[in-house]
Every structure is written in C-alpha cells, then in structure tokens.
Structure 1
Amino acid sequence: MTTAYIESPLGLTLIKGDEKGVSQISCLDGVCGGPAQDGLPLDEPVAQAAQQLTEYFAGTRQTFDFLISPAGTAFQQSVWQLLRAVPFGTTQSYLELTRHLGDEKAIRAVAAANGRNPLWIVVPCHRIVGSDGSLTGYAGGLWRKEWLLKHEGAWPVSVKGKASATAPGQLSLF
C-alpha cells in the first residue's frame, strides 16, 4: 500500500492504494503542505489518481479511469456504483438514487452508504442533493460540496426545472 498527497483548492488530498487499485481518497482538514508521497515508489493506480485529480482541479478532466478498490458491503458497493454513473456537471437526489436501486424505502441506507464513500470526488457523492435541490450533509463539509458543484457547473442546483440555491448553512436531510 502506498500513499500520495496532492495540494488541491480544498486542502491537502490523501490518496492510498496498491496495485489492485485506489482504496482511499480524502481531503485532510487543518493540514498544510506534506510529503508528495510516503517514500515508497507509488503503485500505478495511486500515481494515476494523483495525476487525474490534479487535472480535475485544473479543469481539464471530468472523468476518472484508474483502478479503484474501495472496501465496503455489497449494498455500499452497489450505491457507489450508481454514484459513479452520475455525470460531471449534474446532480441527482437521494430519492432518485433509491429509485434506481428499486426501493424508495432504502433512502436512509443509501444516505448512509453515500456518507461512507471512501473515494472523495472519484465516486461523486457531492453530486447527490436533497429532492428540493438543497445541499445535504457532506463528510468534507458543505463548503467543499458547494465548491465542487460550482467547479463542475452544477450550482445552483436545478430540480425539475427550478433553480435552488440553498445556502450551505441550510440543511435538508433528503
């Protein structure tokens, strides 16, 4: 397992993985600077992730194609797979996500799986919003979610033809 760090507009980003794929991408709060890597030669998927995330933040990349290997339950994996299908520059509600799974009653479980996503940005949980277009909880902080949506041109959020610009401090559970 190797680790790389990249600077991003949202803070220092940690990338962990091995030859099987990247298992963790997260933004570190309260940390400035840091080593470019952990001293070991980077496994190829980690090096590719660092490069592709740098391109994403520079505005020259919209999709990612390096190997990933996030650890999670079968249900979490199915939710994360659906998240990867939400295109750059768009949003989807938790309710829409549960409908794709075929069980609207699973909305809380879907929200919990979304919150346990170990691959920040690459599995784009930031693209999931409330049914009214409001920003909802985000592990990296709502200010980061708003920044990412603006970066992708998906802010303000449009829901069924209506624009919503809920302030980051206003939360909607679903």
Structure 2
Amino acid sequence: MNLDYQYFNRPPRSIKSLDLNKGDESVLPIYNVAGMIERLNDLLGLQNDFYPCFDWTFPPPIFSPASGPCLVEELFSEKSITPGRFSIYLHIPFCESICKHCYYTAFSIKDPKYLRRYTDYLIKEMYMYSNILDNQTCESIYLGGGTPTYLPNNLLEMILTNIHNALNR
C-alpha cells in the first residue's frame, strides 16, 4: 500500500505490521485477500484525503509548516464563524503509558521538570495571542492530548489561571 504521509507525524498503526501489497494469505487465510486490498485502498484513500481516520495530530495536518502563517495577526485575520467569539484547544501530550490502539500524539514522560517546562511554554504561547484576542469572548476551553489530568493539579491550575489572566487584561 503506497500512501503519502507527508502531513502526518506517523502512518496509521493499523497497517504497520501488515504488508497488504504482498497478499500474504497466511495472515488473512479466510478472506479474499485481493478484494480486501482493493477495499482497504479505497477506504484509506477516502479517509486520508482530508481527515485521516483516527490519525489525529496537533497541529492539524492541514497546516503544513511551509504554508503556515508567519505572524500571529495573520493566524487570526480570518473571520470567525461567530464574530467576536473563539474557543481554545490546549494539547497536553502526556500519558501514563502509550496505548497501542491510540493514535493521538502522546509521550510517556515521568520527569516533573519536563511537565513544568511544557506548561511554561504553553502559558507563554497563551500570552502571545492575548492582544489579538482582546475584546473577544472565549466560549470554550478544550483540554486534550494525551491525558490532560496526567499533569499534576498545580500545573493544571497554573494553566487555567493564566488563561484567565491572559484573556482578561
């Protein structure tokens, strides 16, 4: 199977261990392998056109490094669906362990200094956007990852306090 993964941080795990081009019938002995390859190619082609099925990354794969905005002002220059309102997504990419079935970008880091360092940079980034988002209303805050609750309570509190401070200046 020849798929282009240039916009993804890794290929889907579901096809890593199975080379469908070989037609190895010992792997799938009860199925029509040729028909299955054709069907999987069709499905993966559809899924990877715009939204890769369960291969979510941050930043979204539709933003390639070459075509991203150069300035914060450019990033927020497009009109919002609801003018004057915005939502925030904070990616917390840490987990106790990395699950084989999970396709999120996540790291199993135990050292608290790295968690604190990530939190510090996340907060710096929030303040970077604060002037641009001035006089607008934050409708929602999404915490995702990983496992956001993997962060110690003091770091989560620090993030939420700084969101409030950055957006209410």
Give me the TM-score of the superposition, normalised by structure 2.
0.26
Q: Which has more radius of gyration?
A: 2
Which has the larger share of strand?
1
Give me the TM-score of the superposition, normalised by structure 1.
0.25
